[in-house]
Structure 1
């Protein structure tokens, strides 16, 4: 069994402005192996399985609410592969059951090793330790970004996407926007909406794509994982108007910023814009748990 290439439809978002906006619904690929996570894993997993490894095992990294951790665990269950998550924060050792993402990953068969935040910063050292202990394992970086992931993202661009002037997606570790930059048409501009305050991302993307056809815009609203009341209102209004669920960490922030740019005439009249819904909806449950504790409004969920 291998991950299949999947065709995803484009949905038009009707606007009052004189530009075209479409949304490519990568979130529809799979409830948990969704969006860019599917395509980042595509070549990594298929190449690994082609080697017919003995006692196959996938090892990866992530935080408590990581979409990548959820995706790898779900993939493991679907492919009957063992998975191991190196999780940031040793304080979660006896509290993971209270976390919706980790609870789901555990239900999907993932085992955990909880790492101190200090040790977690040195991913190279952790990777080497894991490689020494599990020489036959596939070790995937945090967020899934590596050369094979960037190649996989190329499948998000199709004949249908060639007609657009702008390609837009959120940026966490840089792999998705790097793939778009690498495989975009010559006439296309790629816009990455940073959901993390990381000044190194431009060079990361450039290193993978080798093209300067992209810009990175700030959309993190105070830092990775921060959820503002304005963000919640935008997501809920978008759901009411377009019947599409957005997550509060990635696509919700990207589209909020994109709508602001459209409203202030950043794009010339007649521009054709394609935004990518990169999934991450599993994180809404954990986000709402935090919002409840803060006595704040919740993210409405599409039934």
Structure 2
């Protein structure tokens, strides 16, 4: 099976469109990865597509991955696995068993196995707990939280070749680092002058940069990127009335749905940067809408 056949099987609509809007009287382009599928969320397909293809080619019957109770990554993965007849074990941070989120209700409907773990166990998902899972399920494919692995970089990087022009800035939200790393690597591969900007959606100065650097191969390390840390509104999934009102106003003006966890913080940041004349005049700016709308239910 090719990646194109897999995308056809799952009804993935790529390439996603580029849509021009005005923010504070400045023209920017939105890469609408939120629109590639009615259920699958934006960049969640790009980050796991090659891992899924590898799983199918190796006849993998079981996938394990990690996330919170509203995780876009687990939601998308649960859907893929149901469609491809692969068992999913979702390791969920916190016990939602008596108060299921809409995301977890979907996973149950898709026959996923859910394991609730405490915060301490979840924090060990990259070392001791990971080893425990690998011992318990030696035949399973374990995908990192958010799908951010070295596999993710190739899938995200394909986005660059879909673009209609070379941009001066590509801007994306950052949480687990895979999307930004994929963009940086492909810009480096193609020797583009594009600057890649990340908008940190959680408190993590230094931490987020380390996540990105750990994913980047040395030959594609670059200095032409930056993560901005002034727009997280207090931390991951933190929001206030101003941000919620901004998301509502953005939809009214542009008819593009955004939410306060990822895309709302992204566009809020871009608009404020424009107002503060961060971008040189006539800059070509691309904002990557990574989806995530289901997480607000």
The range that moved more, 158-167 or 1-10, is 1-10
By how many angstroms is 1:186 displaced? 2.5
Q: How does 1:242-257 map to 2 (within 5 A)?
A: 242-257=254-269
Residues 268 and 121 (structure 1), Cα distance of their counterparts in 2 relative to 1, 3 Å cut: same
Query: 1:81 is matched with which residue?
Result: 86
Residues 150 and 178 in structure 1, CA contact (< 8 A), matched pair in contact too: yes
Helix, strand or coil for the counterpart of 1:152?
A: helix
Residues 76 and 109 in structure 1, CA contact (< 8 A), matched pair in contact too: no
Query: 1:112 is matched with which residue?
Result: 114
The range that moved more, 150-159 or 6-15, is 150-159
1:51 aligned residue (53, 58, 61): 58
2:175 aligned residue (153, 167, 172): 172
Cα distance in structure 1, aligned partners of 2:162 and 2:73:
28
By how many angstroms is 1:163 displaced? 1.6
Residues 15 and 162 in structure 2, CA contact (< 8 A), matched pair in contact too: no
Query: 1:193 is matched with which residue?
Result: 199
Q: Does 1:67 align with 2:110?
A: no
Query: 2:227 is matched with which residue?
Result: 216
The range that moved more, 190-199 or 44-53, is 44-53
Structure 1 residues without counterparts, runs of 5 or longer: 286-303
Helix, strand or coil for the counterpart of 1:44?
A: helix
Cα distance in structure 2, aligned partners of 1:224 and 1:144:
17
Cα distance in structure 2, aligned partners of 1:271 and 1:114:
46
Cα distance in structure 1, aligned partners of 2:153 and 2:162:
18
Query: 2:161 is matched with which residue?
Result: 158
Residues 168 and 284 in structure 2, CA contact (< 8 A), matched pair in contact too: yes
Helix, strand or coil for the counterpart of 1:276?
A: strand
CA displacement, residues 114-138 of structure 1 (integer Å, 9 cap, x when unaligned): 1111111101222222211222211
The range that moved more, 157-166 or 144-153, is 157-166
Helix, strand or coil for the counterpart of 1:236?
A: helix
The Cα RMSD (Å) is: 1.6
Residues 161 and 274 in structure 1, CA contact (< 8 A), matched pair in contact too: no
Helix, strand or coil for the counterpart of 1:245?
A: coil
Query: 1:132 is matched with which residue?
Result: 135
By how many angstroms is 1:81 displaced? 1.6
Helix, strand or coil for the counterpart of 1:173?
A: coil
Query: 2:272 is matched with which residue?
Result: 260
CA displacement, residues 88-123 of structure 1 (integer Å, 9 cap, x when unaligned): 11x323332xx1111122112211011111111101
TM-score, reference length from structure 1: 0.88
The aligned length equals 279
CA displacement, residues 123-171 of structure 1 (integer Å, 9 cap, x when unaligned): 1222222211222211101111110012211112125254210000000
